[in-house]
Amino acid sequence: VQLVESGGGSVQAGGSLRLSCQATGGTLENDAMGWFRRAPGKEREFVAVIRAGGRDTNYGDSVKGRFTISRVIGKSTVFLQMNNLKPEDTATYYCAAGLFTTSANWYDFWGQGTQVTVAS
């Protein structure tokens, strides 16, 4: 199974972007799906996760109230709506599938990443 992200790009601070992630070569409909990010020179950071059924979500403190994760129920597709973007949101964003947790260690599948750049 491969995860393919799309939707990254460059925006001005205060703008919005919507990231998408689609699984190919198999199904991950029973897995939690999440987003992580890594900025240059920084550790990988948990962003958001959503359960397989879509009822439960969890967010990193730095994105709460600005980002929203959602998924197509029964499909291996997840979205990350990012509003009120800040320059500190600049990073490569990775989609992942695994357990409903903030720890990257419990995710079995990872995408290649999509770049998000927020200009001040």
pLDDT in tens, the chain (120 residues): 999 999 999 999 999 999 999 999 988 989 999 999 999 999 999 999 999 989 999 999 999 999 999 999 888 999 999 999 999 999 999 999 999 999 999 999 999 999 999 999
Contact 108, 2 (CB under 8 A): no
Q: Read off the tokens for 85.
A: 């973007």
Are 60 and 45 in contact, with CB atoms under 8 Å apart? yes
Reduce the DSSP state of residue 23 to 3 states and report it. Answer: strand
Which two tokens mark 70? 């959602």
- pLDDT score recorded for residue 74: 80
Among residues 30, 31, 39, 34, the alpha carbon closest in space to that of 5 is found at: 34
